[in-house]
Amino acid sequence: MTAATTTGTLLGYARVSTGHQSLDAQADALTEVGVEPARVYSDKLTGTSTREQRPGLAALLDYARPGDTIVVVGIDRLGRNAAEVMLTIRDLGERGIVLRSLREGIDTSNATGRMIAGVLASLAELELELGRERRAASRAARKARDLPIGRPRALTSDQIRQAEALRASGEPVPVIAETLGVSRATLYRTLAQNG
C-alpha cells in the first residue's frame, strides 16, 4: 500500500442490507464529518449480492480518484463478507484513495491506518486461500469416494432413458419436460449431453 494524501474530494458510502432499513442514520453520520449530501453514494440491498449488483458502490469506485477520501460509518458497509471488504480496501490503497471508517477509527492517510488496513487485507487473502484449500480437499475426498462433484443432476439415469425414448417416439420436448418435472432448457441440455 502506498501513502495516500487527502487532497481530493470527500466521498461517502452507505449501505443497508434489507429494504425496510433506513440509510438516514448513516447519511447523517457522513454529512456530520463533512461529506456533502450530493457526494453520498448508497445501496439498499435485499438478499445476497455481489459487488456488481451494487450500483452505488460501483458508481463511487468509478468516480473516486487518487487523493479522494471515501468515508464509511463502518468497514462492514464495503461488502457482505470479510474477504470482499478487505479486497476493496486493498484496491483503494493501490489506487491512492484514502479510506476512513468512523466506527473502527481507520484512516489510511496515516501510517497506522495503512498498517491496520494492510493487516486486514492480509487476513482476507488468508481467508480466501483457506477457502480454496477447503474446497479442493472436499472435491478430492468426494472424487476418491467416487461421489458426484458439483450440483446434483436434475434427472436420474432412468429418467434420461425415459426422456430419450419419449423423444424418439415423437413426443414434444415441452410435454416430456412437464412429465418429468424439469424445465425445457434442462431437458434440451440433458438430451444434448447424452445424445
Confidence of residue 154 (pLDDT cuts 50, 70, 90): confident
* Same domain, yes or no: 120 and 172: no
Q: What confidence tier does 73 reach under pLDDT thresholds 50, 70, 90? A: very high
**What's the pLDDT at 2?**
47
The whole-number pLDDT of residue 51 equals 55
pTM: predicted TM-score of the whole model, two decimal places: 0.59
DSSP SS3 for 3: coil
Note the pLDDT of residue 61: 93
- Which among 125, 123, 109 has a CA at the least distance from the CA of 1? 109
**Residue 140 falls within a domain, yes or no?**
no
| pLDDT in the model for residue 88 | 87
Are residues 177 and 99 part of one domain? Answer: no
Going by pLDDT thresholds of 50, 70 and 90, the confidence category of residue 123 is confident
Which residue has 432413458 as its cell numbers? Answer: 161
Q: Examine the fold and report which residue of 79, 108, 126 is the final residue of a domain before the chain moves on.
A: 126
Q: Amino acid letter at 172?
A: P
User: Considering the domain boundaries, does residue 181 fall inside one?
Assistant: yes
- Domain hosting residue 187, numbered range: 157-194
In this predicted structure, the answer to whether residue 13 has a pLDDT above a threshold of 60 is yes
Q: Give the C-alpha distances (Å, rounded to integers) separating 22 from 14, 16, 31.
A: 10, 7, 16
Q: Are residues 120 and 187 in the same domain?
A: no
C-alpha cell recorded at residue 52: 456488481
Give the pLDDT score at 47: 54
pLDDT-based confidence at 131, cuts 50/70/90?
A: confident
Q: What integer is the mean pLDDT of 161-165?
A: 90
Calculate what percentage of the chain has a pLDDT beyond 70.
90
109 labelled catalytic = no
Same domain, 27 and 113: yes
Task: Find the catalytic residue in 17, 49, 122, 157.
Answer: 17
